Amino acid sequence: MTPLIVLAAFFFLEAFLRRMPARIFKSVCWERPARRDGKLTIAIVEMGADDSFPQLWRSVGHFVEEHADVNIEVVPFREAGKGVLTGYAPAAIVLTGYHQELSAYHPGEMNGLLDFLRTTRLPVFGICGGFQFMARAFGADIVEIGFEERGYTPLHLHTDDPLFGGLGARPVVYNRHRMTIGEVPGAFSLLAESDACVQAIRHRERPLYGVQFHPEYADRRHADSIAMFGNFLTIAGLKTRPRGD
């Protein structure tokens, strides 16, 4: 390999790493901690298909453990029907994103999860692709936006909601996606948008929240979505982890 090729490869790798959220490297080796008696449980549903980037559930799991004083279970989406999820007796459920094409999913393999979302009374927090599939469960289409919305993005809030408690008028969140929902399902209220697409929705009667952005990739300078997740935990009746714990 010539020095020129090595130099080009170095600059390509540096540029690639610069575009990745710093927090992703902290969670690359995360493993689910052992269960502790007396703690409530959050179930994380891994929404990635077989060829999905394997970091998804680790990033979300690391984030949940960092901010929620709970036990954590990780469930692949194919297994996440009513019987499996309720078997863990979770106090809340978090749906991860996905990075692969929609064609990577086979027809019917998500029916159990979608049926569960249509009927559950448990608090659910859908992130990016998880938000999109939550909306699909209630009749929305998942569509291309025509470009990649990536990086820290200010939100336009459409309504007052406990999810935004303690935040200013233009929260900043991290986005990384090419897909979005075609419309807000009739059972949901629009909470926030960016200049590109819908960013947050809430079921009108149940504690189901969907956000297009990635709170698990927030940093200290852009911590608004961490506060939103903390607000969701409060809505779900869960304890946030004390700072420095």
Whether 128 is catalytic is yes
Helix (H) or strand (E) holding 135: helix 129-137
Whether 216 is catalytic is yes
The answer to whether 27 touches 61, Cβ cutoff 8 Å, is: yes
**Cβ neighbours of residue 6 under 8 Å, at least 6 residues apart?**
none
Strands (E) across 52-171 are located at 71-76, 92-95, 124-127, 142-154, 156-157
Report phi then psi at 205, rounded to 5: -120, -20
The answer to whether 59 touches 27, Cβ cutoff 8 Å, is: yes
Out of 62, 99, 177, 214, which one is annotated catalytic? 214
Out of 73, 128, 149, 177, which one is annotated catalytic? 128
Whether 29 is catalytic is no
What letter represents residue 60's amino acid?
A: V
User: Residue 204: CA atoms inside 13 Å, Cβ hemisphere, count?
Assistant: 8
For residue 159, give Cα distances in angstroms to 164, 193, 205. Answer: 9, 11, 16
Give how far the C-alpha of residue 196 lies from the chain's centroid of Cα atoms, to the nearest Å: 18
Give exposure, 77-93, as e/b (b: 16+ Cβ within 10 Å): bbebbeebbeeeebbbb
Residues annotated as catalytic are 128, 214, 216
